Chains A and B, each alone.
Chain A
Amino acid sequence: MPSILIVHPDRKTQRVLQRILGVTGYRVDISDDLDQGIRLMDHVQPILVVIDGSAVLSSRVNDFFMHARAKGAEACMTLLGSAAVDQVPKILGMGAVTNLLVHPMPVLAEELTITVQKLIRSDLFGAEKYLLWGTNLQETTVTRGSQRAQLVAHLSEQVRARGQSARVASMAMLVADELISNAVHNAPVDASGTHYRAELARDQELELDELHQVRMRWGCDARYLAIEVTDFFGSLDRDTVLTALAKNDVRESGGGAGMGVALAYRSCDHLVFNLAPGRRTEIIALIDVRHPPTERLSASSYNVFVERT
């Protein structure tokens, strides 16, 4: 029977996570440390392993993730304290954690529940899953490369017109610009896997036929501003995403190509990758509009979901 495995040393936190994950109806197994978790995985079939970010300091963490991956389980890390935020570069550098949830309660509970439900239901796509019922999503199709600038400016105006701060509008502009730019220029691949538009100048006009068109949707439910960008190539893969996110190293980088995803990640509160290989890539950026920067952890969550065929 599929289950969810929690690895956490603190009994109270184990109980909190068990309550959150138990609502899925799946059996929830608990272990106090990574070794116990590895042994447990020999007897259970977890779809998801949830461990605390502090585990990244353990020498057994790589073995644990290897076991989890061999079992077909997705790895989810939660950061329950601000001290754990310091471990984010290390976690990203491991390239094994497909889900990192950094926000304190109650946001963590929401993020964890959505993560688990998406995995259980194999229903990955759509920003609606992150927004409250009734939230209207505005949709635009990008049919020309030069449309990006107008779209981004229009998004900023609309976000401001809906009462959001200049800071939120600025974050939205950056995220939308980078995601659309990636979808127009980096997503298209030919049969040999060559990204044939990646080297084109970004200010060169491109007419986009149906295959090359990019969809952007956005909406706000007064908790999150969600920006969703979809291409219909599905060329982005899990390892490329994890490598791009790990460019912390964005701090030392020279800017430009390959930095778009890393910048988008650092400019929002939660970045979600929904990958259907060969069919479509959907990236959803969530910007927290409830809490000022001083009430949030200085790290962002991410999820990398891959559609299973």
Chain B
Amino acid sequence: METRGRMTIDAQGDALLLAGSIDESAALHELIGRATAGRLVLDLGGVTFINSLGVRDWIRMQAAAQKADLKVELRRVAEPLVHQLNMIIATRGNAHVTSFYAPYACDACGREESLLIDAVINAAALVKLEPPAMTCPECAAQMAFNDFPERYFSFLSS
């Protein structure tokens, strides 16, 4: 495992697992050199934080990937990154998001949970801004999507 500032990078299967904070120390653009067979797969489920300097670095990485004609796949994109993808269009680049975390809340027991959505299986529903149904892990009631779909899913529309 490699550490850059408060971020760790771990190779697992065909993906690089990024975890922790993406900030001025992350040097994300260097990850381009770790692409294999024209693909860079990033698993972002462990990312807890990204600041404006991390965003700048992320955009540089995306630009470098486009320049090198690399396909970038983003898996298990954590909520802090989804917010940036929604807020700043340049962060999206040409990356393909295959799954991401989204906020759900249980009306029955009040539990809030970040749950993984498969963007490929649910592609048709997500285009219609329909979040997939989720079951509360605590009381088994149906959970409600805990944000505005038109806002939270906007990063999928580019």
Interface residue ranges, A against B (CB under 8 Å): 149, 152-153, 156, 165-167, 170, 173-174, 177-178, 181, 201-203, 250-257, 259-260, 263, 266-267, 292-294, 298
Q: Is there contact, CB below 8 Å, between B105 and A254?
A: no
Q: Is there contact, CB below 8 Å, between A170 and B56?
A: no
B90 at interface by CB-CB < 8 Å: yes
State the interface size on chain B (CB cutoff 8 A): 34
Question: Complex Cα distance A257/B148, Å?
Answer: 29
Closest 10 CB pairs of A and B: A256-B56, A255-B56, A255-B55, A202-B24, A259-B52, A293-B147, A177-B51, A203-B24, A255-B59, A165-B112
Contact of A202 among B6, B53, B79 (CB under 8 A): B53
CB distance from A256 to the nearest CB of B (A): 3
B80 at interface by CB-CB < 8 Å: yes
B8-54 contacts to A (CB < 8 Å): 21, 23-25, 48-53
Q: A173-B49, A181-B51 are in contact. Are A294 and B148 (CB under 8 A)?
A: yes
Q: Is there contact, CB below 8 Å, between B79 and A167?
A: yes
Interface residue ranges, B against A (CB under 8 Å): 5-6, 21, 23-25, 48-53, 55-59, 79-80, 83, 87-91, 103, 105, 112, 114, 145-148, 151
Q: A167-B112, A177-B51 are in contact. Are A292 and B90 (CB under 8 A)?
A: no
Question: Complex Cα distance A309/B50, Å?
Answer: 39
Chain B, Cβ-Cβ closest to A165: B112
Provide the main secondary structure of the chain A interface: helix
Contact of B89 among A178, A202, A252 (CB under 8 A): A252
Question: Complex Cα distance A174/B6, Å?
Answer: 14
Provide the main secondary structure of the chain B interface: mixed
Q: Is there contact, CB below 8 Å, between B6 and A167?
A: no
Interface contacts (Cβ under 8 Å), in number, total: 93
Q: Is there contact, CB below 8 Å, between B90 and A254?
A: yes
CB distance from B61 to the nearest CB of A (A): 11
Q: A256-B55, A294-B148, A298-B151 are in contact. Are A251 and B89 (CB under 8 A)?
A: yes
User: Which residues of the other chain, B, contact A263 by a CB distance below 8 angstroms?
Assistant: 51-52, 55, 87
Q: Is there contact, CB below 8 Å, between A255 and B87?
A: no
Question: Complex Cα distance A142/B25, Å?
Answer: 20
Q: Is there contact, CB below 8 Å, between A250 and B87?
A: yes
Chain A, Cβ-Cβ closest to B146: A292
CB distance from B111 to the nearest CB of A (A): 10
Question: Complex Cα distance A152/B80, Å?
Answer: 15
Known: A178-B51, A254-B90, A259-B56. 4 other contacts (CB 8 A): A166-B112, A174-B49, A181-B53, A293-B148
Question: Complex Cα distance A53/B79, Å?
Answer: 31
Q: Is there contact, CB below 8 Å, between B88 and A250?
A: yes
CB distance from B64 to the nearest CB of A (A): 13
Question: Complex Cα distance A257/B5, Å?
Answer: 19
Q: A149-B23, A203-B5, A254-B56 are in contact. Are A293 and B89 (CB under 8 A)?
A: no
